[in-house]
Amino acid sequence: MRILRHFHYRFSIKTKLTVAFLLVGMLTILLMGMLSYHLYNNGIKRDFHRISQEATLRLNHHIDFYIYQLTKSTSSVAKDELVQKWMKYEHQATLEEQQNVQNVLRRHVALNYPEIVGMFLLTPDGRTLSMTNLALRSEELLAQEPWYDNRLTEKAAVISTHAVKYVNEDVRVLSLEMPIYSVENMDLLGKLVIDFHLDEIQRTFEKSSLAPQGRFFIVSEQDRIVYYPNYKWLGLPREQTALQQLDLTDNENASIQQWESKRTLVAVTRSETTGWTFVSIVPYEEMASAAKHTPNTMIFAFIVIACCIVTVVPFLSRAFVKPILHLRQVMGSVERGDLQVRAAYTSGHDEFQYLNRSFNMMIEQVNQLLETVSTLKLQEVSLQLREKEALVKALQTQINPHFLYNSLDIIKSMAYLEDMPEIVKMARSLADFYRYTAQDMSAIVRLEEELTQLKHFLSIIHIRFPGTFRSQFSVNEKFMHCLIPKLIVQPLVENAVKYAIEAKEGKGSIIINAFDDQSDLVIEVADNGPGIRRERLEQIQAMLKQLSENALHEYGKQQSLGIANVHARIVLQYGSAYGLSLDSFEGRGTVASLRLPLHLIQNKTEGED
């Protein structure tokens, strides 16, 4: 396979198309020639079998008619008075009587059928009277004839060709046995045997020639040759002649067999009257003379097709190669960095046009990808700059934090000495909360830690609004050890204090709740403040949706650092399926919900490990 692939890539499309068309043309001609030859061959065999049957039927009818005429005309001899008288004798007839009967027989032969060799009268008691046109060797030799020992029959019968023994010459005859009945009482008196030459049959076959070298022959039921142009084969078993190589079993179809070193058509027809088999043989070349020219015709057709292919293929190959060369030129320009070039495209069903269109679409997509990569790189640089700015700001806010912690501790100590417990509590809560917020903002903490710092923050709000402000934590113990981003809830509580509690001068409540929703953890911060106007709520929800769709690009553009920051941090860390949602009822309050993946949260033991 590798060798074929290497051979395939070595040549141009023009050469490959020429070879391919030549091969296809040659295979087409060969297939058509083989199919035509097969159909032509079958047609010849069918026609030959039909013609042979028709000729055989005519020959068989002629032979039957000849035997019928011979039988009918000879019946007058059987009714002759002298013949009837001789057949009835119960004793040996006189020589004169025998000569009279022989004269009757000889006269019949002379007047009607000169091809008759001999006529013989046979009685049941064994008496025999012979009349022959040839010199009779001996009366005793008649016993060797095939008809001598045959029993008497009530109907005429034909005995196939055989060589007579009662003459010195080589004579092959057919024998006709006829019963002789008494004209008085119709008793069977004996039989009349007629031996006759095959001259009439031979003349009939000579008139019915199928082809110049074609011939007929007849075989008896005992597979002996009844008639064949070769006189020496007459009467012999077929197995003793060259005819034994022919298969004569199929009498339904013609067949092609080897005979005399030639392909020969053989047709077999059996006679219902005599039981003989009529065989027609004709050299195949004579019946299929047109087939001789088939190879030359195929060669001529192939030469014509090859000339047409050699002439037409260059034009066809140019039509195929030109679009490929154009596309290769365009691809070379793209390879050199020119992404503005495009392949020529014309709408239609041409495969090359599909290829050009696909190539143009690919270049468009490459341009889009390059633009996307450039944009992402710019965004990445911008994000890194914003992170650095945030880091600088964070560093600026963390300048000398120990000084701030020490100052808060001094305020707490002085308040304690002055017996001012609210200031002590506020200073302690503020110091703990500030210490918590000053640590790594990207850390992951337990929900329990986040809620503890919220309690420090809310304790300061309780001191600010004593007696009127209420806060409540409704969180199941099983969620306390879940991990969440640090300071993800505090901005929501701070917003609730700013827009709900302060707006009502401290007369309000904040409830923090946590529950699981299938594989998610939901944390809610609810207040009973004045709520958010419908228009403002829609603006905030649109902003959150925009952040979900493109948090990396939109993060940092928002003026507020509260809910936008919280939502962007969750989306960037967990995906757009998570984040912040806001629901508000004007005059009744607001609910801010955080949705986090529960399957990313570990228990306390795993967190400590």
* pLDDT at residue 609 is higher than 50: no
Q: Which residues are paired to 268 by β-bridges?
A: 279
Inter-residue contact 56 to 278 (CB < 8 Å): yes
* pLDDT at residue 188 is higher than 60: yes
Residue 19: which residues within 8 A CB-CB, separation 6 or more? 11
pLDDT at 395: 46
- 192-201, 334-343, 365-374, 588-597 — most confident range: 588-597
**Between 81-88 and 13-78, two packed helices, what is the crossing angle to 10 degrees?**
80
Q: How far apart are CA 17 and CA 313, in angstroms?
A: 7
Q: What is the dihedral of CA 437, 439, 440, 443, to 10 degrees?
A: -70
* pLDDT at residue 523 is higher than 90: yes
Say how far residue 291 (Cα) sits from the centre of its chain: 37
* pLDDT at residue 604 is higher than 50: no
Mean pLDDT of 328-356: 82
What does the pLDDT look like over 482-514, one tens digit per residue? 888 888 898 899 899 889 888 888 889 999 999
pLDDT at 439: 60
* pLDDT at residue 374 is higher than 70: yes
Higher pLDDT, 436 or 370: 370
Domain boundaries, the chain: 1-338, 345-393, 440-597
Q: How far apart are CA 402 and CA 405, in angstroms?
A: 5
pLDDT at 437: 63
Output b/e per residue, 115-141; b: 16+ Cβ within 10 A.
bbbbbbbbbeeebebbbbeeeeeeeee
Inter-residue contact 595 to 520 (CB < 8 Å): yes
What does the pLDDT look like over 37-71, one tens digit per residue? 777 777 777 777 777 777 778 888 888 888 888 88
**Hey, what are 532's tokens?**
């958010």
pLDDT at 599: 57
Inter-residue contact 196 to 91 (CB < 8 Å): no
**Hey, what are 152's tokens?**
């008497």
What does the pLDDT look like over 460-478, one tens digit per residue? 888 888 888 899 999 988 8
* pLDDT at residue 36 is higher than 60: yes
Select from 569, 419, 591 the least CA-distant residue to 522: 591
Higher pLDDT, 591 or 259: 591
Higher pLDDT, 576 or 8: 576
Mean pLDDT of 579-596: 91
Mean pLDDT of 386-401: 52
pLDDT at 522: 94
The pLDDT confidence band at residue 290, using thresholds 50, 70 and 90, is low
* pLDDT at residue 7 is higher than 70: no
What does the pLDDT look like over 559-571, one tens digit per residue? 445 788 888 888 8
Out of 249-258, 391-400, 430-439, 512-521, which region has the weakest mean confidence (pLDDT)? 391-400
**Hey, what are 305's tokens?**
């097709």
pLDDT at 551: 61
* pLDDT at residue 592 is higher than 90: yes
Rg (CA), the chain: 63
Out of 89-93, 256-260, 396-400, which region has the weakest mean confidence (pLDDT)? 396-400
The pLDDT confidence band at residue 593, using thresholds 50, 70 and 90, is very high
The pLDDT confidence band at residue 431, using thresholds 50, 70 and 90, is low
CATH of 440-597, one of 3.30.565.10, 3.40.47.10, 3.30.420.40, 2.40.160.20: 3.30.565.10
- Percent of the chain having pLDDT more than 70? 82
| Residue matched to tokens 């082809």 | 211
* pLDDT at residue 399 is higher than 50: no
The pLDDT confidence band at residue 438, using thresholds 50, 70 and 90, is low
pLDDT at 603: 45
- 249-253, 378-382, 416-420, 455-459 — most confident range: 455-459
**Hey, what are 100's tokens?**
């009279």
Phi, psi of 484, rounded to the nearest 5 degrees: -135, 160
pLDDT at 527: 93
The pLDDT confidence band at residue 154, using thresholds 50, 70 and 90, is confident
Amino acid, single-letter form, for residue 344: A
pLDDT at 608: 41
The answer regarding whether domain 1-338 maps to CATH 3.20.20.70 reads no
pLDDT at 39: 75
pLDDT at 187: 86
* pLDDT at residue 594 is higher than 90: yes
How much is the mean pLDDT over the chain? 79
pLDDT at 398: 46
Select from 87, 274, 91, 109 the least CA-distant residue to 182: 87
**Hey, what are 9's tokens?**
């890539």
Mean pLDDT of 450-466: 85
How are strands ordered across the β-sheet holding 277-283? 225-227, 215-219, 277-283, 262-270, 255-259
SS3 452: helix
